[in-house]
Chain A
């Protein structure tokens, strides 16, 4: 099936879940990454169970934070 990852079309196997996609995309420090599918944010605990579908648009967003203390 074809999905769109960070704006780029990719061919992946049917039934791929978000956790596997994170592995395939070699996402750095995935514990700090938020995933959206079709602009909906996916709970970190649901990465294994969330099955992607044809045409899904996925974004990986690094948590952006910090502070002076």
Chain B
């Protein structure tokens, strides 16, 4: 799948992730699935990592509920989540895969391993025959 995100939204994610170092940062993404198959991110939500560690994140369900209601009020669809990897590459860890349970979601991972060269990728994760299968999605910053 092709996913688009605006430069402004990308920078919002990057700023939030940098401000939260050394902890992982997280949030949600919302937008629309377009008729040409592209998934357009129109809004990003910068939420609190209630784990407050550099190696794990959990989104506060209360924040999540508030964000879902905001999406609905603005005609946006929940498209997935994002989180940062302060010290590792932009790819799903075993823990990321274990906890990726929505096959309709896009999972965005921002690596700040090299803080001068942040890397943001998007992934689709689904369970096939009991195994988590990861596919990288085409993410375009527009």
Contacts and interface: CB of A to CB of B under 8 A. Distances in A.
A57 B92 CA distance: 34
Interface string A30-69: 0010101001010000000000000000010111111111
Contact of B28 (A36, A64, A65, A68): A64
A61 B56 contact: no
Contacts of B127: 29
A62 B102 contact: yes
Contacts of B130: none
A32 B28 CA distance: 17
Interface residues on A, range: 10 to 19
A63 B107 CA distance: 13
B95 A67 contact: yes
A7 B68 CA distance: 10
Nearest to B80: A64
Interface of A: 7, 28-29, 32, 34, 36, 39, 41, 59, 61-69
Given A64-B59, A68-B56, 6 more contacts: A59-B65, A66-B57, A66-B93, A66-B95, A66-B100, A67-B57
